[in-house]
Amino acid sequence: MSYIPSPKQAEELVKQYNKDAFHIQHAETVSKVMGEFAKEYDPEHVDFWRTVGMLHDIDFELYPEQHCVKANEILHELDIDEDVIHGVICHGYGICIDVEPKKYMEKVLFATDELTGLIGAAALMRPTGLEGMEVKSVMKKFKDKKFAAGCSREVIRQGAEMMGMELSELIEKTIRAMQA
> Does 76 reside within a domain?
yes
> Does 60 reside within a domain?
yes
Full-model pTM: 0.96
Task: Determine the pLDDT at residue 164.
Answer: 97
In angstroms, the CA 63 to CA 46 distance is 28
> Does 84 reside within a domain?
yes
> Does 170 reside within a domain?
yes
Task: Determine the pLDDT at residue 71.
Answer: 98
Task: Determine the pLDDT at residue 28.
Answer: 98
Sites in the chain below the pLDDT cut of 70: none
In angstroms, the CA 89 to CA 80 distance is 13
Backbone angles phi, psi at 106, to 5 degrees: -70, -35
> Does 44 reside within a domain?
yes
Q: Domain span at residue 112?
A: 7-179
Query: CA 79, 14, 44, 112: dihedral to nearest 10 degrees?
Result: -120
Count of domains observed in the chain: 1
Task: Determine the pLDDT at residue 1.
Answer: 84
In angstroms, the CA 77 to CA 71 distance is 10
